[in-house]
Structure 1
Amino acid sequence: MLVEREGDLARVVERAARADALAVDVEANGLFAYRARLCTVQLAFREGDGVAVAVVDALRAPVAPLAPLLGAAGPPKVLHDLTFDARMLAEAGAPLAGARDTSVAARMLGRAATGLAALVSAELGVKLDKQLQQHDWGRRPLADAELRYLADDVLHLLPLDARLAEHGRALGIEDEIAEECAYKLATALGPPRDPRPAYARIKGAQALAPEGRAILRRLVLAREAAAEEADLPAFKIVAGEVLLELAQRRPARADDVRAVRGAAAGRAGSLVAAWLRAIEQGRDDGDVPEDERALFAQPRPSRREIAVRRAMETRIAAWRRAEAKARQVDEQVVLPGHCAQDLVEIALAGGRAGGGAVADAIARIPGLGARRLARYGAALAALVTAAMASEPPAAAV
């Protein structure tokens, strides 16, 4: 059913709240707008002998009334690759809680292909039509073919979740799957992993001299202004690598700007003057604002840090590989990659602090979980201690 009015949404929420589980998916228009807008929320839940599917038009009905259903008080939620969905729903006033992610389960089960279509085909024998995967979901009205596509994205999530959960129980890895789902949701709802401004995230920006990075900053600001005015994603105005080349070359004439491939192509064709103004402003600035200069002053790692990092990464990889083989599970079940990186940082910090409370630090690793801590805590502490002992001898004076 298509839900376009708040009253109809309230009735769907009332029905879905009685379900044993709720499949959730969302669509937005991030490929077609400067700021992505939540366009639809799809829900599926078992009701009687069948499955009810609701497509909520988020451009016509407020999504916030879904909050009790999608929050901790509602039934368990099932999504596929929940990160984007969780962020969009939270921004709309309906944050997720108690969610399971079929992409996480598939990865923990060692599946080579973890996309929804591949999993539904492999586990359920159903072929999903993904022709509208790059569709502009901000367009209205929604056609019948679009509604069928939206419904299909949630219709098979609950049986897929059940099948993957069955495989997880057979391997005895339910706790690890649940822990990783919780970690992924917490990460999605937390602050961004890379808080740097957009210009500082462009590959190659770190190598620019002060004036060059000031120019790049102004160019990116000019691109943002153009993207906002056109209501398009910034990358559809001009690519970041093109702006980097402009910052490196610093052209002073329109013809020189046009000589940079992509700088005056397509939508950027009318922005040559804007690029020249940005370059001139960057020259006048001389450098980026003082509070952003630290982003370009990352200290070089010491010989000890390099040695500890390499030793730790080697030890973790070997230990994880051996343990996974012994248990006949995927390596991510033994230790997710993000936990391995945190272990490396603990080894480095422990060395700087003269040892420190390694066990306590390991216990606080996000996403490690009580089961892994009980099973592997001592082994992980031994890995850290061994890596900390890898400091090279001091250089002769």
Structure 2
Amino acid sequence: MSQVLPVLVERDDDLARLVERAARADALAVDVEANGLFAYRARLCTIQLAFREGDGIAVAVVDALRAPVAPLAPLLGAAGPPKVLHDLTFDARMLAEAGAPLAGARDTSVAARMLGCPATGLAALLLSELGVTIDKQLQQHDWGRRPLASRELRYLADDVLHLLALDARLAERGRALGIEDEIAEECAYKLATALGPPRDPRPAYARIKGAQALDPEGRAILRRLAAAREAAAEAADTPAFKIVGSEVLLELAQRRPARADDVRAVRGAAAGRAATCVAAWLRAIEQGRSDGDVPEEERALFLQVRPPRRELAARRAMETRITGWRRAEAKARKVDEQVVLPGHCAQELVEIALAAGNAGDAAVAAAIARIPGLGARRLARYGGALAAL
């Protein structure tokens, strides 16, 4: 663990001074911690910042439970210096919810993936690229607990202390391969995706593995059971999964017990925090039986329409063509396949190809140009080749 003890910022005036200093930096390393493993609704607990100052690195931990986050918005937004994070998705969402959305961010995990690094976790990269070892023993710590001890502060400092040096090393490697534009485009795409709507808009119960196989009454029961679990979790201020696992809810929806003893016969349904929920499970099952099915507007979520064989064959053929082209191009350029065409772009390209029908070349080219995350450089280099696939 680092011997660096960061400055702990808990007061408004100290935060204002920190923002003033950090705003003059050429880049800003950022990391956050929350208490999502210990509360029903995760709260942003700490914000770690590191920046070059004089001949050294200044490191600060902002206590987000005691100091306001809003004053950080100009620093973390487009007007501030470039931000460097590792795997920014969670950080971006938490900061946006707290009123300080990120802009102008680079992600070292994206750079590492595009450089073909075998391991892209922060600890692995710091070791392989800089020879630095960091302690990850507090990875599942409750960051909502106060006060923050010296050991905890040093742990928090580790996640940003070497991030700027790692970013510089990876950027140098990216420039040597001539892929800096592709890395930047993917970082921008990842940030936009993190700040956008969820990829899977289905309600939580419909996302439970096995829900699709239930009959109408079973899915109505599962919906009620999931709501009962949420209510219990909120009352206990604990994550829903700590009340009972989703696989237990599914089994209850399948078995549909009518007596308390039958509920207790389902492994996990009355254990631990769920011990006081037996009556709630029985009520939910009874309500689900009475419902008979989920609300009409949610029934379409369970319709499983298998595409015709011809369409499936066309999809597989297009995926094979795109994959083969991408592999050959990456080999010729001696770069990772994600540099040539990220997976999410390849998926979009498949959909464009299948929907093209009798569309003209101009319409197909325009659709390709609109693929999120493709970027101007890839479009200029590969636009014609992608349209020809």
Q: Please give the secondary structure, in 2, of the residue aligned with 1:18.
A: coil
Residue of structure 1 equivalent to 2:228: 222
**How far 1:348 moved relative to its partner?**
2.0
Q: Please give the secondary structure, in 1, of the residue aligned with 2:229.
A: helix
**How far 1:351 moved relative to its partner?**
3.0
Instruction: Determine if the alignment matches structure 1 residue 208 to structure 2 residue 214.
Output: yes
- Runs (4 or more) in structure 1 with deviation over 2 Å come to 351-356
Residue of structure 2 equivalent to 1:90: 96
Residue of structure 1 equivalent to 2:297: 291
**Structure-1 separation of matches of 2:349 and 2:161:** 40
**Structure-2 separation of matches of 1:157 and 1:194:** 31
Unaligned runs of 5+ in 1: 384-397
Tell me whether 334-343 or 293-302 shows the greater mean CA deviation: 293-302
**What is the TM-score normalised by the length of structure 1?**
0.95
Q: Please give the secondary structure, in 1, of the residue aligned with 2:139.
A: coil
Report 1:290-309 matches (<5 A).
Answer: 290-309=296-315
Report 1:1-397 matches (<5 A).
Answer: 1-351=7-357, 357-383=363-389
**Structure-2 separation of matches of 1:114 and 1:266:** 36
**How far 1:263 moved relative to its partner?**
0.9
**How far 1:352 moved relative to its partner?**
8.2
Q: Please give the secondary structure, in 2, of the residue aligned with 1:357.
A: helix
CA shift digits 1:19-63 (9 cap, x unpaired): 000000000000111110000000000011111111000000011
**Structure-2 separation of matches of 1:220 and 1:376:** 47
**Structure 1 contact 70–96 (Cα < 8 Å) conserved:** yes
**How far 1:356 moved relative to its partner?**
8.1
CA shift digits 1:55-102 (9 cap, x unpaired): 000000011100000000000000000000000000000000000000
**Structure-2 separation of matches of 1:352 and 1:124:** 54
**How far 1:206 moved relative to its partner?**
0.8
Residue of structure 2 equivalent to 1:393: none
Identity of aligned residues (%): 89
Unaligned runs of 5+ in 2: 1-6
Structure-2 change in CA distance of 1:357 and 1:298 (3 Å): farther
How many residues align? The count is: 383
**Structure 1 contact 308–347 (Cα < 8 Å) conserved:** no
Structure-2 change in CA distance of 1:146 and 1:265 (3 Å): same
**How far 1:207 moved relative to its partner?**
1.1
**How far 1:132 moved relative to its partner?**
0.4
Q: Please give the secondary structure, in 2, of the residue aligned with 1:44.
A: strand
Letter in 1 for 2:198: P
